[in-house]
């Protein structure tokens, strides 16, 4: 059973009505029990050649049906599905840990090899303390590593930080298989489902977000916000217990 199948299997059984589906330039939002975010991914195809089914009627579906779209091979549909999953998850905040991902990485990362799958804005702050630091991207820029080299890089990692977006493009399991068994694995980013179910698959730390002010979040998302510009969100982190 894949990670997504395990999460879908454990979503609330009572059907949840969808009140909002918003697909922004960078972020997708679905509101049902709560509001959930996911990265907006677009198919690597000519513009207009791939479409989302049932456009204009998504708000008439229940959130569980939309959540199933996370398995879609159409990554834009999968983005909607991931946001729907996050809209259904209730996070037990009593089990969250203090400190954001950067603080935790600054403590754990000193003298270690750190591999990032996905670019995060705080990465430059970690370079001075890491033994080696790599950033793996599907479309690498200067000083980043092409995703085709992921196996070679992740094999060397003491700490692997994997973006939640890998659940949307269905690369997570393969990337995880490249990591050493004793590596510390983090899943990070607003697409990340904040659920301890990820610990069953070898993840040690889960860091995502909770939408605490939906109207503020929607206003910024529909105007093209990148993540630091989204209002009304709170970071949440779960740590696997030893």
Is 227 inside any structural domain? no
CA 62 to chain centre: 22
Is 220 inside any structural domain? no
Are residues 101 and 18 part of one domain?
A: no
Final residue before a domain boundary, out of 88, 105, 121: 88
pTM: 0.96
Is 204 inside any structural domain? yes
CATH code (residue 66): 3.30.390.100
Final residue before a domain boundary, out of 88, 121, 148: 88
pLDDT of residue 50: 78
Are residues 209 and 196 part of one domain?
A: yes
| Chain segment 146-193, per-residue pLDDT in tens | 999 999 999 999 999 999 999 999 999 999 999 999 999 999 999 999
Are residues 117 and 84 part of one domain?
A: no
Are residues 187 and 174 part of one domain?
A: yes
**pLDDT value at 34 more than 90:** yes
Range of the domain at 169: 93-214+232-239
**pLDDT value at 99 more than 80:** no
Nearest Cα residue to 162 out of 90, 101, 112, 209: 101
Are residues 209 and 156 part of one domain?
A: yes
Average model confidence (pLDDT) across the chain:
95
* pLDDT band (50, 70, 90) for residue 45: confident
Are residues 78 and 21 part of one domain?
A: yes
Task: List Cβ neighbours of 51 (8 Å cut-off, separation of 6 or more).
Answer: none
Are residues 207 and 116 part of one domain?
A: yes
Count of domains observed in the chain: 2
| Chain segment 101-120, per-residue pLDDT in tens | 899 999 999 999 999 999 99
**Least confident segment among 21-35, 42-56, 66-80, 107-121:** 42-56
Nearest Cα residue to 9 out of 61, 70, 54, 57: 70
**pLDDT value at 98 more than 90:** no
Placement of tokens 């982190």 in the chain: 237
């Amino acid at each position: 059973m894949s990670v997504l199948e395990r999460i879908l299997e454990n979503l609330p059984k009572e059907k949840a009505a969808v009140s909002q589906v918003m697909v922004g330039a960078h972020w997708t939002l679905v509101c049902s029990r709560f509001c959930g975010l996911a990265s907006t991914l677009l198919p690597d195809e000519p513009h207009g050649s791939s479409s989302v089914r049932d456009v204009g009627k998504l708000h008439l579906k229940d959130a569980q049906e939309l959540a199933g779209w996370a398995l879609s091979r159409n990554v834009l549909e999968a983005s909607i599905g991931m946001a729907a999953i996050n809209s259904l998850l209730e996070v037990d905040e009593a089990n969250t840990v203090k400190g954001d991902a950067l603080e935790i990485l600054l403590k754990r990362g000193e003298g270690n090899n750190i591999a990032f799958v996905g670019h995060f804005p705080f990465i430059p702050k970690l370079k001075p303390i890491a033994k080696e630091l790599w950033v793996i991207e599907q479309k690498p820029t200067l000083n980043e590593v092409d995703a085709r080299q992921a196996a070679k890089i992740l094999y060397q990692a003491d700490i692997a930080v994997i973006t939640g977006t890998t659940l949307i493009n269905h690369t997570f399991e393969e990337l995880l298989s490249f990591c050493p068994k004793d590596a510390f694995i983090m899943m990070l980013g607003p697409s990340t489902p904040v659920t301890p179910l990820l610990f069953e698959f070898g993840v040690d730390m889960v860091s995502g977000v909770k939408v605490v002010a939906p109207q503020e979040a929607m206003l910024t998302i529909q105007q093209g916000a990148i993540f630091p510009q989204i209002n009304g969100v709170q970071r949440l982190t779960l740590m696997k217990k030893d």
